Amino acid sequence: MPREISSERLRDRFDRFNEIGATDRGGVNRPSLSDANRRARDTLVEWFEEAGLTVTVDEVGNIFGRRDGTNDDLAPVLVGSHVDSQYNGGRYDGVIGVLGALEGIETLNDAGVETERPIEVVSWSNEEGVRFQPDMLGSGVFAGKFETAFAYGLEDKEGDTFGEELERIGYKGEAPCEPRDLHSYFELHVEQGPTLADAGLSVGVVEGVYGFIWFDAAFTGSADHAGPTPMHLRHDALVATSDIIEVVRRIAGTEGEDLVGTVGSLDVSPNAINVIPERVDFTVDFRSSDDATVDRAAERVREEIDHAAAREGVAGEYEQIMRIDSQTFDPDCVETVAAAADALDAEYTRLVSGAGHDASYLNGVCPTAMVFAPSVGGVSHTEDEFTEWDDVVTGTNVLFNAVLEQANEAPGADSGSES
Amino acid sequence: MPREISSERLRDRFDRFNEIGATDRGGVNRPSLSDANRRARDTLVEWFEEAGLTVTVDEVGNIFGRRDGTNDDLAPVLVGSHVDSQYNGGRYDGVIGVLGALEGIETLNDAGVETERPIEVVSWSNEEGVRFQPDMLGSGVFAGKFETAFAYGLEDKEGDTFGEELERIGYKGEAPCEPRDLHSYFELHVEQGPTLADAGLSVGVVEGVYGFIWFDAAFTGSADHAGPTPMHLRHDALVATSDIIEVVRRIAGTEGEDLVGTVGSLDVSPNAINVIPERVDFTVDFRSSDDATVDRAAERVREEIDHAAAREGVAGEYEQIMRIDSQTFDPDCVETVAAAADALDAEYTRLVSGAGHDASYLNGVCPTAMVFAPSVGGVSHTEDEFTEWDDVVTGTNVLFNAVLEQANEAPGADSGSES
């Protein structure tokens, strides 16, 4: 029989937590290392300690809360997500994964249940990447993808650095941030896409994460007066860019079944009604479960940037700023999640995540899997983000039982990292 | 025999004037009602007074300097341009028209020449429209196109109003700003297009100004996550906008020989690499010597906005913010300019201006004409704007002789407004 968490306690904490940085339109505004993010972290640390967890903050601000196992020589099961938000983002994104993990600990405490392995709850630093890029920074440093010094040097738009701001809010910890022995990692998160909600399902058993590529691109032409400059003498950076926006849309429909492509950010200079655009800086994002498809799409856009530049008589440039291979989660961990969903009679499907998560990096450190809760309308990264509470509870129960199962798994019976 | 102005004196003043708000890259930064614009105005007033002109500042900050005629009952000849600049704009735009007019006065003073009619030099307020829209504001109020209260209420991006800022820099004058009896208006300006420079000509005799239309447009879709949102569920405001950028380019090539069309300003929200654009605000500018062509182009874009909105499943909107009919300048004034160019053996062509000018509004008040100096490479509104000094001198001489001719024209021999 599966154990079940307390819906009331989780709801109470969820509501109180989301008073921090609450917006008028029902969302939260807690971007990384903001004052609201500090208050959210303070509240988490307080609740971790109340639950008897031993709190450690590492040098990039990841917060760990450890519950000892009966055999503390065994590698712990790690479970969590993040509590930073988009600017005016939603209440569920990240939050349910951290508070859900904590709720599992409380449930074990209430029942007086001990586990063989330690369980650690984690809140990763700077997952959203809206203030400091790249996103998933804390888990990326933890997984050895970035150096700590690189993280400290990142600047926001005001020129404040990640290191200074981390120190300012009191979360530059002393524990090293580096890969260490973990038995496994589990994360509950909202889907941020429409699959589960459209199908009326409560749970997604996540088998992996799309690979993706990001690049910055730009065209530079001539900023002439929009009146007296004849069409044939123009070198309009925005006209060239519009070709690429169309191409990104078209490639996404032709190069691969699950390929998605987006031009999300675009800045025009000088951006005046009567001046031909001299320069446009824009971004391209491609994702697919198939890495070769992502690479093919990126290569085609690079070619099209050259073609558009030639047609319009402007200079084109592009720089790859991120490339993460698709992730396939550990089959044993994935089956543990599916078994927990089965035991709870939850209606679920298996799917691959289009969004990146801290679990993407953790998958390189230890066996990993994720649980998805539905996003109504597929909406996320806005104040309108919503998940039915019953689905939050079901997802939390699946997470809890999967973690409990793994935390009692004997050494040697898994693909974990104990020597 | 035509009279000639002093190249040295004009050059000296041109260089000293452009030290005000000078930029590192050789341009000037004197946007309307900035501190640099105030210093430029102060310098003008000082030089006007040194030249014996009677200075009047009107309620929107237009600065007039009057030189009496032998018959002060006759309507004056008005001559001038503007001294506000684009952000990081060029040294010639507007400046040569005001300093050139003043240089004509100095030349008359040196030669002890009196004119029948008064001559007034004018520097129009807020011609560029980069800080306070609409542009050509001072001449527009003077021509009765806008109310003074409308001008005072205009806000810049910081929320400061035109009225407050005008008062702050000390140029909210007491003279009413309204149409009054003028014999004629002449303006020397850089072409801001490539026609003269490409043909190797020194002077343009301007026969009129293109009509133009401006509108603000926007698409509003859904700001979903760029990863997990399948292509067929997207409502991407930027994809819809790219259709319109292409359409504006295409219409300009098909609807009329001299039609030009530009999307110059475009702002994306939320403008993040991994979020599908929810809203795009953009502008459209169409110009032609033929008003029906302008209207046809605007109508087609409005239809295309509806089509693009339907294709992408977004909401489209548009608002016309400016429509100025094409202007045909007074034939007598135009011939006076052409005759002055002939007398000076200047190589010139007749042309229609693609850019709007204060002269466009003055043309509704009194007989009007313009003189163009070449813009090297057709470049304007940037720090790279450049005109060969010899061409500035030739243009100033044409302006001066045209004004001198008209200032001695007897009452009744023209289409002026004396009763």
Give pLDDT, residue A418: 43
Of the candidates B212, B265, B274, the beta carbon closest to that of A272 is on: B265
Domains and CATH numbers, chain B: 7-209+326-407 (3.40.630.10), 211-324 (3.30.70.360)
- For chains A and B, what is the number of CB pairs under 8 angstroms? 215
B414 band by pLDDT with thresholds 50, 70 and 90 = very low
Task: Kindly state the DSSP code that residue A40 receives in the 8-state scheme.
Answer: H
Closest A-chain CA to B274: A264
From chain A, the residues in CB contact with B133 under 8 A are: 273
Reading the block at residue A274, the tokens are: 């009567």
From chain B, the residues in CB contact with A89 under 8 A are: none
Q: Per the CB < 8 Å rule, is B194 touching A273?
A: no
Of the candidates B194, B228, B238, the beta carbon closest to that of A233 is on: B194
From chain B, the residues in CB contact with A249 under 8 A are: 231, 236, 239
From chain B, the residues in CB contact with A354 under 8 A are: 225, 227-229
Q: Per the CB < 8 Å rule, is B276 touching A264?
A: yes
Q: Per the CB < 8 Å rule, is B262 touching A233?
A: no
**β-bridge mates for residue B285, sequence order:** B214, B262
Of the candidates A130, A225, A262, the beta carbon closest to that of B226 is on: A262
Give pLDDT, residue A412: 56
Give pLDDT, residue A351: 94
Closest B-chain CA to A133: B273
* pLDDT at position A417 over 60: no
Q: Residues B178-203: pLDDT tens digits?
A: 999 999 999 999 999 999 999 999 99
Q: Are B131 and B77 in contact (CB under 8 A)?
A: no
Of the candidates A236, A245, A272, the beta carbon closest to that of B242 is on: A245
Q: Per the CB < 8 Å rule, is A239 touching B246?
A: yes
* pLDDT at position A191 over 90: yes
From chain A, the residues in CB contact with B130 under 8 A are: 272
Q: Per the CB < 8 Å rule, is A260 touching B382?
A: no
Give pLDDT, residue B380: 85
Instruction: Look at the alpha carbons of A294, A295, A298, A304 in this order and tell me if their dihedral is positive or negative.
Output: negative
Residue range A53-64: mean pLDDT, rounded: 98
Give pLDDT, residue B130: 86
Best of A92, A224, A225 to substitute, by most chain B Cβ atoms within 10 angstroms, is A225
Instruction: State the SS3 of chain B.
Output: CCCCCCHHHHHHHHHHHCCCCECCCCCECCCCCCHHHHHHHHHHHHHHHHCCCEEEEECCCCEEEEECCCCCCCCCEEEEEECCCCCCECCCCCHHHHHHHHHHHHHHHHHCCCCCCCEEEEEECCCCCCCCCCCCHHHHHHCCCCCHHHHHHCECCCCCEHHHHHHHCCCCCCECCCCCCCCEEEEEEECCCCHHHHHCCCEEEEEEECEEEEEEEEEECCCCECCCCCHHHCCCHHHHHHHHHHHHHHHHHHCCCCCEEECCCEEEECCCCCECCCEEEEEEEEEECCHHHHHHHHHHHHHHHHHHHHHHCCEEEEEEEEEECCEECCHHHHHHHHHHHHHCCCCEEEEEECCCCHHHHHCCCCCEEEEEECCHHHCCCCCCCCCCHHHHHHHHHHHHHHHHHHHCCCCCCCCCCCC
B415 band by pLDDT with thresholds 50, 70 and 90 = very low
Closest A-chain CA to B216: A273
First to last CA, chain B: 32
- Helices B389-407 & B7-17 angle (0-180, nearest 10): 110
Q: Per the CB < 8 Å rule, is A378 touching B229?
A: yes
How far B11 CA sits from the closest chain A CA (Å)?
26
Residue range A12-40: mean pLDDT, rounded: 97
Distance, CA of A235 to CA of A275 (rounded, Å)? 12
Q: Are B139 and B366 in contact (CB under 8 A)?
A: no
A415 band by pLDDT with thresholds 50, 70 and 90 = very low
Q: Per the CB < 8 Å rule, is B239 touching A249?
A: yes
Q: Per the CB < 8 Å rule, is B195 touching A228?
A: yes
* pLDDT at position A185 over 80: yes
Q: How many CB atoms lie within 10 A of CB A331?
A: 12
Distance, CA of B102 to CA of A190 (rounded, Å)? 70
* pLDDT at position A313 over 80: yes
Distance, CA of A232 to CA of A239 (rounded, Å)? 13
From chain B, the residues in CB contact with A378 under 8 A are: 224, 228-229, 233
* pLDDT at position A413 over 60: no
Give pLDDT, residue A414: 46
Q: Residues A151-170: pLDDT tens digits?
A: 999 999 899 999 999 999 99
pLDDT averaged over chain A? 95
Of the candidates A274, A285, A354, the beta carbon closest to that of B285 is on: A274
How far A232 CA sits from the closest chain B CA (Å)?
9
From chain A, the residues in CB contact with B268 under 8 A are: 264-267
Q: Per the CB < 8 Å rule, is A226 touching B275?
A: no
From chain B, the residues in CB contact with A219 under 8 A are: none
A257 band by pLDDT with thresholds 50, 70 and 90 = confident
Total residue count of chain A as it appears in this document: 419
Distance, CA of A402 to CA of A169 (rounded, Å)? 34
Query: Which residues in A315-326 are b (16+ Cβ under 10 Å) and which e?
Result: ebebeeebebeb
Query: Which residues in A243-258 are b (16+ Cβ under 10 Å) and which e?
Result: bbbbbbbebbeebbee
* pLDDT at position B412 over 70: no
How far B335 CA sits from the closest chain A CA (Å)?
22
* pLDDT at position B417 over 70: no
Of the candidates A192, A226, A263, the beta carbon closest to that of B285 is on: A226
Give pLDDT, residue A411: 74
Q: Range with the lowest mean pLDDT among A51-65, A221-235, B60-74, B282-296? A: A221-235
How far B282 CA sits from the closest chain A CA (Å)?
8
Best of A87, A198, A242, A372 to substitute, by most chain B Cβ atoms within 10 angstroms, is A242
Distance, CA of B175 to CA of B185 (rounded, Å)? 19
3-state secondary structure of A110: helix
Best of B133, B135, B190, B242 to substitute, by most chain A Cβ atoms within 10 angstroms, is B242
Distance, CA of A300 to CA of A255 (rounded, Å)? 10
* pLDDT at position B160 over 70: yes
Closest B-chain CA to A351: B228
Nearest to residue A123, comparing CAs of A78, A77, A76?
Answer: A78
Q: Write the ipTM.
A: 0.84
How far A299 CA sits from the closest chain B CA (Å)?
19
How far A185 CA sits from the closest chain B CA (Å)?
22
Percent of chain B whose predicted confidence (pLDDT) is above 90 = 88
Q: Residues B234-252: pLDDT tens digits?
A: 999 999 999 999 999 999 9
Q: Per the CB < 8 Å rule, is A264 touching B277?
A: yes
Q: Residues B302-356: pLDDT tens digits?
A: 999 999 999 999 999 999 998 989 999 999 999 999 999 999 999 999 999 999 9
Residue with the two structure tokens 């969004």: A355
Give pLDDT, residue B25: 92
Q: Per the CB < 8 Å rule, is A246 touching B249?
A: no
How far A294 CA sits from the closest chain B CA (Å)?
12
Of the candidates A239, A258, A356, the beta carbon closest to that of B249 is on: A239
Give pLDDT, residue B257: 81
Q: Per the CB < 8 Å rule, is B287 touching A226?
A: yes
Q: Per the CB < 8 Å rule, is A193 touching B238?
A: no
Q: Which amino acid is located at B266 in the chain?
A: L
Helix (H) or strand (E) holding A140: helix A137-142
Q: Are A410 and A67 in contact (CB under 8 A)?
A: no
From chain A, the residues in CB contact with B231 under 8 A are: 249, 252-253, 260-261
Residue range A253-278: mean pLDDT, rounded: 92
B304: Cβ–Cβ under 8 A, 6 or more apart, which residues? B243, B244, B247
Of the candidates A191, A214, A268, the beta carbon closest to that of B273 is on: A214
